[in-house]
A = this chain, B = another copy of it.
Amino acid sequence: MSPSLIYHVTSSLDGYIARPDGRLDWFDAERQADEEYSFQYFYTGIDSLLMGRMTYEALLAKGGTWPYPGKPCVVLTRSELPRASSDIQLTHCTPAQAIAALREAGFQRTWLVGGGSLAGTCYAAGLIDEIVINLAPHLLGAGIRLFATGLERSLQLSDQRRFNNGTLQLHYRVLNQQAAALPLPASHHNAA
């Protein structure tokens, strides 16, 4: 399996990842029943984490024990921040450099955590290989968009799972070709 940067986020059916003010209450209630299960299904498949400052600070503010022990977590930031765990490395470099360093160290499947500007940067730079969406059975109406960059990409659905509360976990690979240039092979029409 080739190395992957994986963006994992919960989205409403209409493509929002949070309310306009950032609140996640709309799916917190729905998540309780299955968060453990659906998250574990995803988490066992990754071996490293990458996040930006805002996501890291939000986790620090939440307090308690570090929720992602045993897997290296690279936090991209210029700021001096406390390390909540020995797994955390604070570094000031580009996402591409951080990913390269993880690969050098043998880590293959990196979870890009959070829905902030780092995800948009990585997406625009073509660094995201996989997208795992928890598609919640909810229309939010307004909010922070899944991707705000305005870029078009074709995807390949690789897995889908349904959880008790009607949330679907969808696994996509990001295709590199320009969407407009992607031909459908003739045999595709007859694929089982």
Q: Which residues from chain A sit less than 8 Å from chain B, CB to CB?
A: 12-16, 25-26, 29-30, 32-33, 131, 133, 135, 137-142, 145-147, 149-157, 160, 162, 164-168, 170, 172, 179-180, 182-184, 188-189, 191-192
Contact = CB atoms under 8 A, between A and B. Distances in A.
A32 B172 CA distance: 20
Contacts of A170: 13, 135, 168
B162 A138 contact: no
B162 A166 contact: no
A157 B162 contact: yes
A147 B155 contact: no
Given A32-B189, A165-B188, A137 B179 contact: no
Contacts of A188: 33, 164-165
B162 A160 contact: yes
Contacts of A172: 13, 137, 166
B146 A14 contact: yes
A43 B139 CA distance: 24
A30 B175 CA distance: 14
A140 B183 CA distance: 17
Contact of A138 (B137, B166, B179): B179
Contacts of A32: 184, 189
A26 B141 contact: no
13 contacts: A13-B131, A13-B146, A13-B170, A15-B16, A26-B179, A29-B182, A32-B189, A33-B188, A141-B150, A157-B162, A157-B167, A164-B192, A168-B168
